[in-house]
Structure 1
């Protein structure tokens, strides 16, 4: 499920749950398929002996969903997957094989796997940021755009909302687009007419078809597009002038996006440095917030 699984602690051999998790690594699974994967992990000892109907009942999904899950992992069907599960049986006689977590399993249960995957994504982002120029280039474009258009649909709307909320504290005119449709296309045109030169887009899986339409419209209108995406090869790459990749975690039923959020905050910091009056705006906000008793702490 995660394209870049974190390394297992040195000297630790993964138990049944860990070996199942490694089977799912590298596959982009739907939320339903992840539910099935988690069910198999929770029943690691019994999984090699369960029928597709039994797996479906345990996971609370349909039997065809189990078949599609097996195919998504690269197998001809569930029987082939079950054979593979049997091959992944206990690694040594010390594995009890009774479904109980051992000390070795404890470092790779599904909750810890998700956290470790996010840590790996953040570490990769830190390595990428060793070259600050792409972020600095993006910050200059963001600071110069009046208004600044922020776009993020569906799963990426939370990232767009967060970025726009903080950007508005230092940028004089931020316009958030968190829903698609013809009205959103109108707002892109209105922003360009008002002087906008740059649009920042948060594009996370699963990528909405309407996002492509909106970015196409932005490009036709002459906007420079900066995109924070889960991969440099995201479906919107061809519509992006400056791509800033930050991986998402896919170890849980729903994606986690700590790295894209962090990259957004890094961009905000760099944008503040490019806006000469950002400090004054922040101080003015704090003064107003204090006089209004806006916050309790």
Structure 2
């Protein structure tokens, strides 16, 4: 990550002498405040440094980007794992306001799903589904904000496969919960910026045991992807201090459904039994017979 930042900043420094007066103002601002620039539109960046929006676009082109959005995304990739929650709140003020929160967040999540659909490797997805059925045992780990994703995946996969264990904080350490891990097993690690250190360590442990490792994460540059055999990339660009997990959840949903479609008869039998149990023990609210 640090090397990537240095590369981009070095490119700006190298090209600086050949830039126009207006472009130099943009370059100086980015070099000093790249964390803020990453979440500004071209128009807002132009206003901040006193140049036109078209000058900002030409600056991005001069650096080798096809447009300003590409430069902006490159800047966001550099900083998103380093931002504290307080910094996220400060930066989000430029993106989401109290008056446009609903529309702004929904539009951001729609973009995350659209981008995920374009970028995700379909063959990798199919390979991961195959692994679910080939593995002796499946361990799922997702900590902090990713806990909800791990629990969701574990809950439904257990109804299909019966050999799934969700690893998390509890009475025993994470490594103790994975003590029986072998080369015949699969570990699914779920993590997004800011990446939980324990999840990364768990995937390294899995590799040391020669288990297959799948990462559900936001980038091939993610520390989870670096420790996996297969990576399912789901975009999670933040709209504010809350991590956007909509696209990752959609990918996980697709995994569950793809696995379920291979076990249609078992799924049908399982849910028939569950419906009887749920009704007998009033797990859900059922309408009375009179209605």
Please give the range of the TM-score, normalised by the shorter of the 2 chains: 0.5 to 0.7
1:295 aligns with 2:273: no
The answer for unaligned runs of 5 or more in structure 2 is: 1-34, 48-52, 54-68, 287-291
Whole-Å separation in 2 of the counterparts to 1:241 and 1:284 = 37
Residue-by-residue CA offset, 1:243-265 (whole Å, 9 max, x unaligned): 00001131112211100011001
Residue of structure 1 equivalent to 2:127: 137
Distance change (3 Å), C-alpha of 1:233 and 1:220: same
- The alpha carbon displacement at 1:110 in A equals 5.2
Q: Which residue of 264, 269, 273 corresponds with 1:280?
A: 269
What RMSD, in angstroms, separates the aligned Cα atoms of the two structures?
3.8
- The alpha carbon displacement at 1:174 in A equals 1.4
The structure with higher relative contact order (CA 8 Å, sep 6+) is 1
Whole-Å separation in 2 of the counterparts to 1:233 and 1:251 = 21
The answer for unaligned runs of 5 or more in structure 1 is: 44-100
Instruction: Normalising by structure 1, report the TM-score.
Output: 0.64
Residue-by-residue CA offset, 1:82-137 (whole Å, 9 max, x unaligned): xxxxxxxxxxxxxxxxxxx9xxxx8xx455333212111111222346x6322221
Whole-Å separation in 2 of the counterparts to 1:259 and 1:2 = 25
Distance change (3 Å), C-alpha of 1:39 and 1:128: closer
Q: Which residue of 166, 178, 199 corresponds with 2:168?
A: 178
Listed as ranges, the matches of 1:212-291 within 5 Å are: 212-275=200-263, 277-291=266-280
Distance change (3 Å), C-alpha of 1:180 and 1:121: farther
- The alpha carbon displacement at 1:151 in A equals 0.7
Residue of structure 1 equivalent to 2:106: 115
Residue of structure 2 equivalent to 1:199: 187
Whole-Å separation in 1 of the counterparts to 2:223 and 2:37 = 17
Q: How many residues align?
A: 223
- The alpha carbon displacement at 1:181 in A equals 10
Residue-by-residue CA offset, 1:184-233 (whole Å, 9 max, x unaligned): 112212243xx851111111111122222211111111210111101121
Q: Is the 8 A contact 2:213 2:228 kept in 1?
A: yes
Listed as ranges, the matches of 1:50-129 within 5 Å are: 109=100, 111-128=102-119
Residue-by-residue CA offset, 1:6-32 (whole Å, 9 max, x unaligned): x99xxxx9xx9xx9xx99875324320
Residue of structure 1 equivalent to 2:4: none
Partner SS for 1:277: helix
Whole-Å separation in 2 of the counterparts to 1:2 and 1:117 = 18
Q: Is the 8 A contact 1:161 1:178 kept in 2?
A: no
